[in-house]
Amino acid sequence: MLIVAFKLIASPCLIGAVSLAGRRWGPAVSGWLIGLPLTSAPVLFFLTLEHGTASAATAAQGIMLGGVAVAAFCFAFAWADFYLRWWATVLVALGAYLLAAWAMHMLVLPVTAGAVLVLIALALALWRFPPLREHISPTTPPRWDLPLRMLLATAIIVTLTSVVPLLGPRLVGLLSVFPAFVLILGTFALRQQGATASAAVMRGVLLGLFGFVAFYLIVGLTVVSWGIGAAFLTATIATLAVQGATLALTK
């Protein structure tokens, strides 16, 4: 119940904060922020307190592999938004996510091998990413824009939280890293500022996922032997260091 309450409170706050950051510093920065494990890390912390460090290590490995699925979503969205309508772009990206999530869920890898796999996926996605040559013009969103984003984020999280208990463990894995916030940011950017802006969001997310990998790699490797406090603190410091290193690449 505590985890559900946290998600319901954190979801609208997070999407609101990153949306405002995107208006101030550009869509790539909003995507870069979403790449951080801002919601999944606290949820994993609560799960660790409830189920122990062994369960946390296994969960960290599974969540980290989900980064491949998020990378597939971002890559597909960035290419499709230049050629398709917004709703078709969303469908293509969701299809890529589900296919990659299913493939990753079938894998059983050591946490280090999983991290290498995710890093390769991120590197390939950035290497083959569409060029962003057009200038992104700033816009003045309508007053209902931010409340609608927050409402949609909450609705998606409520829906996922309601559906997950009804599913088997394999399907739960497919939904564990669902890119709800990425979907909202990318779709709004596409509708309001065009394909280059939404692609910039997706590139920012890909860059932000390097910190995501660092967090779950360290937790997966150390939480059993070091304990909750030391593992999560070390992972947080490493994530912020990696995240800082990738910030310059969002420009």
38-83 pLDDT tens trace: 877 877 787 788 778 888 888 888 888 899 999 999 999 999 999 9
> 170 versus 70: which is more confidently predicted?
70
CA distance 192 to 49: 42
Amino acid 23: pLDDT: 83
Above 70 in pLDDT, residue 154?
yes
**pTM for this prediction:** 0.89
Amino acid 61: pLDDT: 84
Query: How many beta carbons lie within 10 A of that of residue 136, not counting itself?
Result: 17
Query: How many beta carbons lie within 10 A of that of residue 181, not counting itself?
Result: 26
Burial of 156 (0-12, 13-18, 19+ CB in 10 A): middle
Give percent above pLDDT 70 in the chain: 88
CA distance 189 to 198: 5
CA distance 50 to 43: 11
DSSP label of 84: S
CA distance 158 to 202: 24
Query: Quick one: average pLDDT of 164-179?
Result: 59
Predicted confidence band of residue 84 (pLDDT cuts 50, 70, 90): very high
> 173 versus 150: which is more confidently predicted?
150
Amino acid 70: pLDDT: 95
Structure tokens at 4: 């559900």
Question: Which amino acid, 88?
Answer: A
CA distance 185 to 168: 29
Task: Specify the length of the chain in residues.
Answer: 251
> 38 versus 183: which is more confidently predicted?
183
Amino acid 199: pLDDT: 95
Amino acid 170: pLDDT: 44
Amino acid 205: pLDDT: 96
Amino acid 122: pLDDT: 97
